[in-house]
Amino acid sequence: MSDCLFCKILAGEIPADVVYENEHVLAFKDIHPKTPFHVLIIPKKHIATLNDLAPEDTALAGEIFQAAKAIADEQGFADDGYRVQMNCGEGGGQIIFHMHLHLMAGKKFSP
């Protein structure tokens, strides 16, 4: 998707502070962090929103959560806990239409 900001990050056209990468996913720091540690985990395949997740993307969705777990562990947040969040569509607060999981940590969240 040539007009997608996160596809441009994947293509190296826009810089990002990458914290994790494998064959299927990339994770980088949010440019406007809402918590002391805030990264976005994206599939390398362009999927606009969770609504566009196809049955054949099921393993890829799992990769996103495996990456969240690995990053939380690597960064030392696994024991204290952390929050993951996905916004879907404008009403869900989604601004960038390339599906992504927010991983936020470094503070105590209220329930």
Q: Show contacts with ligand 5GP in window 57-96 (CB under 6 A).
A: 87, 93-96
User: Is residue 8 within 8 Å of residue 98, measured between CB atoms?
Assistant: no
Taking the C-alpha atoms of residue 105 and residue 107, their distance in angstroms, rounded to an integer, is 6
Q: How far is the CB of 64 from Zn ion (least distance, A)?
A: 14
When binding is defined by CB under 5 A, the residue of 25, 27, 39, 98 that contacts Zn ion is 98
Q: Please, which residue, 32 or 108, has the CB nearer to ligand 5GP?
A: 32
Q: Select 77 or 97, whichever has its Cβ closest to ligand 5GP.
A: 97
CB-side neighbour CA atoms (13 Å) of 41: 28
* Cα distance between residue 21 and residue 44, in whole Å: 10
CB nearer to Zn ion: give 6 or 82.
Answer: 6
42-71 mask for Zn ion (x: CB under 5 A)? ----x-------------------------
As a whole number of angstroms, the distance between CA 100 and CA 10 comes to: 13
Which residues, other chains included, contact 71 with Cβ-Cβ below 8 Å and sequence gap of 6+? 19, 20, 27, 39, 41, 103
Residue 35 is a binding residue for ligand 5GP (CB under 6 A): no
Q: Given the rule CB under 5 A, which residues bind Zn ion? A: 1, 4, 6-7, 46, 98
